[in-house]
Structure 1
Amino acid sequence: MSENESRPVVVGVDGSPAARAALRWAVEDARRRGCPVDVISAWHRDYGVMIGQVPAEIMVEMSPPALEAAARKSLDAVTQGFEGVEIRRILVEGDARDVLTAASKDAELLVVGSRGHGTVVGAILGSVSAHCVHHASCPVVVVREPKVEREQEHAPAAAAAPLTPGPLL
C-alpha cells in the first residue's frame, strides 16, 4: 500500500442481520473518513457436516464452485445500494477469523457483526468477533444484531402486552 493511498475500513459480511448492520456502520464511518470500504466475505467447505452417505444433489451444492457462487451472489446482494463511498467486494476462500485478521493488517478499522449467541454457543461454534477483537492488527468495532430484526425473527405469533412507562400502581 502506497503512502498516498488511504487505508480502508474492512468489514466482514455473511448475510446475517448483524453483518448487514456492521456493513451500514462501516460505510457511514468510511464516508466520514473519506476512505474505501473493503467488504469481505469468506467461504469454505465444512467437511465436518458431511457424515455418512450424502445424496448427490447435496454434494453438488457443497462443491467448492457452488459454495463460491452462492457466496459471490450473497456478497453482491448485500453490497447494493450504497453511494458516496468506494465499495470493494472481496470474496476469499478460508476461515472468516483468519481472513479478517489478515485483512486487518492494512486496515484503518475492522468492523464485524455479532449475533450475540452467548457463552455456550460461542464456545462451541467459535466467535468470529471475539477472535478479531483479540487478534486484529487494527482497532475493531463489533456491531450487535439490530434489536428490531432480532425480535422479529424470534417473536411469538401472539402479540405481546404493551409496555407502560414506570411502575404500575
Structure 2
Amino acid sequence: MDGRIVVGVDGSPSSRSALRWAVEEAGFRRTEVEAVLVWHVDNGMVIGPISADLAAGTDPERACDDWRAVLDDVVAEIGAETGAEIRTVLAEGDPREVLTKASADAALLVVGTRGVGLIREVLLGSVSSYCVHHAHCPVVVIREPKPERTEPKPVLTPGPLL
C-alpha cells in the first residue's frame, strides 16, 4: 500500500461529497488523494449526470473530452474549497473493475452512492456495493447529501371580524 486515498468521481453530488471527505481524511493521514473518473459510452444504456448529452451519438473521443471536463471541474471546485492538490485519473471501462483495481495499492477507497433504487441497482449493479465486496483495501461509502429542508412559513389569514 502506498497510503494514497482513491476516490471514485462522476460529477454527482455524492461523488463531490466523497471527494471532500477524502481530502479531509488525507489531511489527517498526510497522504495524497487520487480522483478517478471512469467512463464508458454504451448508447443503449448511459447513466450519470451528463448521460443525455453523452448518449446522443457521441464519438468516444468527444465522450472522453466531456468526461475530462467533468473531472477537471469537480477537482477544481473541491481543490478551491479545500486548498488541496488532487491527482486525477481518467479511465475508460467498467467503474467497478477500474476502482477495485486501483484499490489494490491504496490505503482507502472512497465512493459515493446515490441510492438509485432497487430496480436500477439490480439491472446495472451498484458500484459502491461492488467496491465494498471486492476492493483490496477498506472502503468508505458517502451518501448523497440530502437537500436542506426549509421550514414552511406560516400563512397569515385574517380572522373573523368582531
TM norm. shorter chain > 0.5: yes
Change beyond 3 A, Cα 1:49–1:115: closer
Contact 1:111 1:142 in 2 (8 A): yes
Give the Cα–Cα distance (whole angstroms) in 2 for the partners of residues 43 and 49 of structure 1.
13
Partner of 2:88: 89
Note the 1:145-164 alignment, pairs <5 A: 145-148=144-147, 161=152
Contact 1:30 1:85 in 2 (8 A): no
Contact 1:31 1:84 in 2 (8 A): no
Partner of 2:10: 14
CA RMSD of aligned residues (A): 2.3
Which consecutive residues of structure 2, in runs of 5 or more, have no partner in the other structure?
Answer: 47-55, 154-162
1:76 aligns with 2:72: yes
Task: State the Cα distance separating 1:84 from its structure 2 match.
Answer: 4.8
Task: State the Cα distance separating 1:120 from its structure 2 match.
Answer: 2.4
Note the 1:1-169 alignment, pairs <5 A: 6-49=2-45, 58-59=56-57, 62-81=58-77, 82=79, 83-148=82-147, 161=152
Any idea what SS the aligned residue of 1:48 has?
A: coil
Could you list the per-position Cα deviations for residues 11-67 of structure 1 after superposition, in whole angstroms to 9, with x for gaps in the alignment? Answer: 0000000100001001100111000101000011214349xxxxxxx43xx211011
Give the Cα–Cα distance (whole angstroms) in 1 for the partners of residues 33 and 87 of structure 2.
6
Give the Cα–Cα distance (whole angstroms) in 1 for the partners of residues 151 and 96 of structure 2.
38
Change beyond 3 A, Cα 1:143–1:49: closer
Task: State the Cα distance separating 1:117 from its structure 2 match.
Answer: 1.7
Give the Cα–Cα distance (whole angstroms) in 1 for the partners of residues 83 and 41 of structure 2.
35
Contact 1:9 1:38 in 2 (8 A): yes
Count residues with an aligned counterpart: 142
Which consecutive residues of structure 1, in runs of 5 or more, have no partner in the other structure?
Answer: 51-57, 152-158, 163-169
Moved over 4 A (4+): 159-162
Could you list the per-position Cα deviations for residues 119-152 of structure 1 after superposition, in whole angstroms to 9, with x for gaps in the alignment? Answer: 2221122100000000000000000000127x7x
TM-score (norm 1): 0.76
Instruction: Give identity over the alignment, percent.
Output: 52
Give the Cα–Cα distance (whole angstroms) in 2 for the partners of residues 36 and 85 of structure 1.
9
